[in-house]
Amino acid sequence: MAVQSKRGDRPGRPRRFYLSPQARDNIAGFLFISPWLIHFLGLIAFAMIFSFGISLTKTDLLTGFTFVGFDNYVRMWNDPLFWKSFRVTAYYTFVLVPANVVVALAIAILMNQKVAFIGLWRVVYYLPSVVSGVAVALLWGYVLNPRFGLLNAGLAAIGIEGPRWLYSEEWAVPGFILMGLWGAGGAMILYLAGLQGIPTSLYEAAEIDGANSWHRFWNVTIPLLTPTIYFNVLISIIASFQVFTQAYILTSGGPNNATLTQVLYLYRKGFQDFQFGYASALAWALFLIILVFTVLVVRTSESWVYYEGELRK
Amino acid sequence: MIEHGKAYPSYPARRGTDWPLVVTKITAIIGRILLYVVLATGGILFIMPLLWMISTSVKPDHLIYNIPIVWIPPELDWQNYVNGWTALPFPRFYANTIFVTIVNIIGLVLSSSLVAFGFARIRFWGRDVIFLILLATMMLPSQVTLIPLYLFWSKLGLVNTYWPLIVPQWLTNAYNVFLLRQFFMTINLELDDAARIDGAGWFTIYSRILMPLSKPALGVIAIQAFAWNWNNFFDPLIYLNEPKKYTIAIGLRLFQTTQSQQIAETMAMTLVALIPVLIVFYIAQARFIQGVVITGVKG
């Protein structure tokens, strides 16, 4: 920073510093962003370095730290439960995220038609996504109950005998995925906003060119929505990998670890077994996994995300 | 039928097809009916769990297990609410949650607007690099920093207080800064220049010009912060360990573990916990939706 100071060139006044306009802006800028800078340096950067340090030790946080090198990472590599938790989380994420795109987009397209009672539909589809956390988990724990739950009662009404959902190894994660899809309204609103931003002139042009509604959908609507889909997929992958509340409250990871998500395993190792060194290593593994998948999506985005004002190859 | 392809740009428009008008009209009507059927079916599927929760919360015990479901019980059992409300100190949980939520909304709105203003309006050394770092932190799962932060708060003797829940929010977060910055960028920069010529400093521009113009965006932040704080489960679970300090989210969890057989009561208390969220949603429906538009989803 170029800080110029001309001191005391005005006699009779208290000493003042005179700064160039750019220097003043530098100071002002840093002052304005200082809350986040403190957050970043104090709570994020510091904690990341420290967290990596802890992952190289064996510790319960109370009686001291024993340096063990990369033992925790080696242990993790050989830990079947770690791999199990990775598979459970990946399964949940890679079914839920695409399913959510399809369901949310479908609803958004329906609601983008000229329909009566639009306010009512909006509430009906959007309201469930406002309900979150413990409330969703408790409600869906009962909805999925094999004995008296709403879902199996509904299936029975159409002659299907429902599975045992959270009590069965096979159906527990699908149960969680349904629970996640119930909140599709959040993404639906995103898509609806995106749809309403598409200029009608493009559709008119396509129609004049002889495109039927299917062509218009695939060649106008979808390309122009790809930025929205992209944003949404990224956010959902990051969030889904951190799934915790449902598994903690409803199944505690069971049956037979079928719902042991990565964050639940981390929580269990750290805050229940007091193996904070190992838990830190698990946290870093989670971060790396999220990073890899995010980078993959970002890398492939060039080939499928279309930005207006950019020529398509 | 003629194959329409995008490869024939000069093709005549669809209206040239030789279907009689009546058929076109009938197809249109069938289309409308189908649209409403699909909308209604989906709508019923989405709203049913909520209706079922309301119905279960006022059901006498012997009707809960009834299949087919009794949607409207012959007599409403309000006692479920009384039993639930008095089984645990729910008024206390409510008060705690309201306190934390309000303090955090104020903190988050203040801090994120200040930081976003810095990034959006002031040209300072290193700004763009720092902003990139801020965006990158959005990818960081909070579990990575969890254990050191827990250690940090426990060394300060502040575990089992509200400080670990409040301080991070008063120091803002990447998501809200990003959202507000996008909004601030849409406000004409010439306003700043005009104000500076009149001798206004940056803080005056922030407080007198940008803030009043940004009420809709600030409302969005406040509402999202409300919903997030009200529902937040992980942080209170980690940091609070005395029931009298519990927020409603872990209060509910406690209820579930201690009264797991009381299905109607659990549904009743879940509903009670949701009421503020539903009220805020109802009042601020438009704002909720606006938030999405402001997030700058267009990329």
Position A298, amino acid: V
pLDDT of residue B167: 95
Is there a single domain that holds both residue B143 and residue B40?
no
Q: Residue B8 — pLDDT band, cuts 50, 70, 90?
A: very low
Q: What percent of chain B has pLDDT over 70?
A: 89
Q: What is the CATH number of the domain that holds A83?
A: 1.10.3720.10
Same domain, B44 and B179: no
Same domain, A150 and A170: yes
pLDDT band at B289 (very low <50, low <70, confident <90, very high): low
Q: Which residue of B has its CA nearest to A119?
A: B285
Question: Which of B137, B170, B270 minimises the CB distance to A44?
Answer: B137
Residue A29 lies in a domain: yes
- Using CB atoms, pick whichever of A47, A130, A263 lies closest to residue B145: A47
Provide the whole-model pTM: 0.86
Question: What pLDDT does residue A198 have?
Answer: 83
Q: Do B4 and A211 touch (CB under 8 A)?
A: yes
CATH number at residue B154: 1.10.3720.10
What digits encode the pLDDT tens for the residues B156-205?
999 999 999 999 999 998 989 988 888 888 888 888 888 988 888 899 99
pLDDT tens for each residue of A232-282: 898 899 999 999 999 999 998 889 999 999 999 999 999 999 999 999 999
Residue of A nearest to B196 (CA): A21
Inform me whether the pLDDT recorded for A80 exceeds 80: yes
Average pLDDT, integer, range A43-47: 92
Q: Which of A:92-121 have CB within 8 Å of B? A: 107, 110-111, 113, 115, 121
Residue A12: inside a domain: no
Q: Would you say residue A36 lies in a domain?
A: yes
In this structure, the answer to whether residues B73 and B101 fall within a common structural domain is: no
Residue A33: give the domain boundaries. 23-68
Answer whether A30 touches B (CB < 8 Å). yes
The answer as to whether A201 is a domain residue is yes
Out of A46, A130, A143, name the one closest to residue B227 (CB): A130
Q: How confident is the model at residue B44 (pLDDT cuts 50, 70, 90)?
A: very high
Closest by CA to B189, choosing from B117, B127, B129, is B117
Q: Could you give the maximum distance between any two Cα atoms of chain A, in Å?
A: 95
Asked whether residue B118 falls in the same domain as residue B209, the answer is: yes
- Cα of B217 vs its chain's centroid, Å: 14
Residue B193 belongs to domain spanning: 88-260
- If asked whether residues A56 and A88 sit together in one domain, one would say no
Does B128 lie in the same domain as B225?
A: yes
Mean pLDDT of B215-239: 89
Alpha-carbon dihedral sign for residues A65, A66, A69, A73: negative
Q: What is the DSSP string of B47-94?
A: HHHHHHHHHHHT--HHHHT-SS--SS-SS--THHHHHHHHHTTHHHHH
Tokens 């932040």 belong to residue: B221
DSSP string computed for A292-311: HHHHHHHHHHHHH---TTS-
Most confident of A159-163, A172-176, B81-85, B137-141: A172-176
Same structural domain, A163 and A87: yes
pLDDT digits (tens, 9 = 90+) for A110-155: 888 888 888 788 888 988 888 888 999 999 998 999 888 899 988 9
- The last residue of a domain, from among B77, B104, B119: B77
| pLDDT confidence bin for B96, thresholds 50/70/90 | very high
Residues on chain B touching A232 (C-beta within 8 angstroms)? 297
Indicate whether A247 and A269 sit together in one domain.
yes
Q: For residues A56 and A90, state if they share a domain.
A: no
Last residue of a domain, one of A68, A100, A125: A68
Q: Count CB-CB contacts under 10 A for residue B240.
A: 21
Total of domains in chain A: 2
Query: For residue B282, is it within any domain?
Result: no
Checking ipTM against 0.85, whether it exceeds it is no
Please give the Cα distance from B269 to B109 (Å, whole number).
30
